[in-house]
Amino acid sequence: MSGAVIGSVRTWLRVEGFVVLAFAAGLYAAGDYSWILFAALFFVPDVSFAGYLAGPRVGAVVYNAAHSYVGPAAVAVATLASGATPELALIWVAHVGFDRALGYGLKYPSGFGDTHLGRIGRAQAEGKD
């Protein structure tokens, strides 16, 4: 698939995802926030899969909005500016890092399996790389 990173660059991006996950979880632990809340909300960004019910273009936009660092950064700025604690942003960042570490990248409108980190799912299993 053109547009997807390969080789050592892909590996570095996945390692980066793991580091982001670990860093966010470490900050979460240091903040002494509820791990029950963490577990309850960790996969909430995956609700964005529902965007694919409207087709691959809409699905990619909705998924990418929920799986980039822009959203959690905005939430962090807003919560810190208001004096609130940033645990929701940290959970969200941890989720994005987790997905990237596993190789789930931002989606292209050509289909759910086409990501910036390479093909995933059926597309990968069928050897369409």
Cβ neighbours of residue 125 closer than 8 Å, sequence gap 6 or more? none
Beta strands in the chain (DSSP E): 107-108, 111-115, 118-119
DSSP type of residue 46: G
Q: Average of pLDDT values for 34-43?
A: 98
pLDDT digits (tens, 9 = 90+) for 62-74: 999 999 999 999 9
128 pLDDT higher than 60: no
In the chain, % of residues over pLDDT 90: 81
d(CA 128, CA 29): 41
d(CA 14, CA 19): 9
Instruction: Calculate the alpha carbon distances from 127 to 21, 60, 109, 123 in Å.
Output: 29, 22, 19, 7
57 pLDDT higher than 80: yes
